[in-house]
Amino acid sequence: MTTVSKITGLVSILMVLATGCSVLPGSPPAAIDQYTLEYTADLQAAAAPGSDVPVMLVSTPRAHGGYDSTRFAYMQQAYGLRYYTRSRWAATPAHMLAPLLADAIQETGQFQALHRPPGSVAADVRLDSELIRFHQDFTVQPSAMRISLRAQLVDLRAGRVLATRLFDLTEPAAAGDAYGGVVAANRAVQQLLHELAQFCVSHQP
């Protein structure tokens, strides 16, 4: 066999190998775990709102930068947000919180609370809020879920702010991973909803 033939044969073999590699199936994509926020209603303490109670419009919280996506944020050093690669929220935390806020306020029996886009219903008061922090904090041990929400209650009939309050909760996580953060987040949300509902009752018009 001549040198030219050997080179031609070698090139052919390399082309076949390259073609074969190009059609090999790739590695399956890594599974992404999705998590939700839930509210466990206290059915024994819940009160049915009367017909003459104020109608409250609960707007979707405005999320600060870094918390306005479904990515699950955590912090290992001050001022530095990172995100889990294989864990996500099922929706943005702000969008998951909005209907839960309405449910908790409705349970007090002091409001007819609705979560609707502005202008869709005549309301007496409105709850506006800002989601300032929503991350798992690893700068403390054990890690903890940190949630900060600023709430403002507005009297729509009088056109004035009734009250403003910053809610800042820290809930230790039983495990130093994403699921530990999820469980801690749901416990913190329960406490947040309870405190915020009482805040609304205390400042109703």
For the chain, which residues make up each domain, given as ranges? 56-202
Average pLDDT (56-63) is 95
Q: What is the CATH T-level fold of the domain 56-202, as seen in this structure? A: Rossmann fold (3.40.50)
Give the pLDDT mean for 42-66: 80
Contact 178, 84 (CB under 8 A): yes
Q: Tell me whether the omega of the peptide bond preceding residue 142 falls within 30 degrees of 0, making it cis.
A: yes
Distance CA 138, CA 144 (A): 7
Top-confidence residue, 181 or 6: 181
DSSP 45: T
Segment 152-167 shows an average pLDDT of 96
Q: What angle do CA 153, 159, 165 make, to 5 degrees?
A: 20
Q: Which two tokens stand for residue 67?
A: 């918390």
Q: Average the pLDDT over each of 29-33, 97-101, 132-136, 197-201 and give the range with the smallest value.
A: 29-33
Per-residue pLDDT band at 10 (split at 50, 70, 90): very low
For the chain, state the CA radius of gyration.
Answer: 26
**What confidence score (pLDDT) does residue 19 get?**
45
- Sign of the dihedral defined by the CA atoms of residues 126, 128, 134, 139, in that order: negative
Segment 145-173 mean pLDDT: 97
Residue 13: pLDDT over 50? no
Residue position matching structure tokens 């206290």: 42
| Stronger pLDDT, 3 or 78, i.e. the higher one | 78
Query: What is the model's pLDDT at position 22?
Result: 42
Q: Determine the Cα–Cα distance for residues 71 and 11; give it in Å rounded to an integer.
A: 48
